[in-house]
Structure 1
């Protein structure tokens, strides 16, 4: 089971077949020589590699963002979401978006909690996320495990 906080700095958390949780962030920031679609190709390649390295993915949960601060952020999110859902459809992997407020409420008790509150909540649970993207992914994975039993 994989949880993603989609973006240029994508937070991820995965629960392996052995039950262990691993997490991190990966950057899809383009270099100055990249064309517009290279970040999405790198994202797709990363997904394929993660699926191979983990022995396959049964389900992917992603943070479903409904409002963006700017147009560029909305376009980037849309590109990552389209790449993710197309990959899942092609590979036969179940996927589900989870609203941001649901994840924050689960992690902190408040649906409008700030980034620092989610980070602190994940640290209180014994995780050491490097940033808010990783913390959001961990919170989403824990939500999926505790409220859905890891099943879509």
Structure 2
């Protein structure tokens, strides 16, 4: 039998230690615990339990992943083109999470942008069409999304 890398499991059937590790990680991230020792103590687990599971236990947020899109675009290597794409995303109500632009080759640069779209004022396809209509945008497509 092939062993899957990840499982989605209802927390009601998990040992409490996993939820406590997630809580301890949250306390560190929010600055409510200054160290992993303090976070483990706040969560009611041992430091060794925290270290054993901290890299393997993540909270799943289905609403977060449902509202994220990745857009791939080819842009002309001209001043202001990327800025106009970013402005269009802002105007549409998208919140950029990551942006990666490669060094231009043959006068075009490839860009991938991941954005939260739970507040956009148009459909995903309309957003892509708006981006495609911008000066200097050679191509734009939705790689992944809700």
TM-score (norm 2): 0.22
**Structure index of larger Rg:** 2
Higher helix share: 1
| TM-score, normalising length: structure 1 | 0.21
Which of 1 and 2 has higher RCO (CA within 8 Å, sep 6+)?
Answer: 1
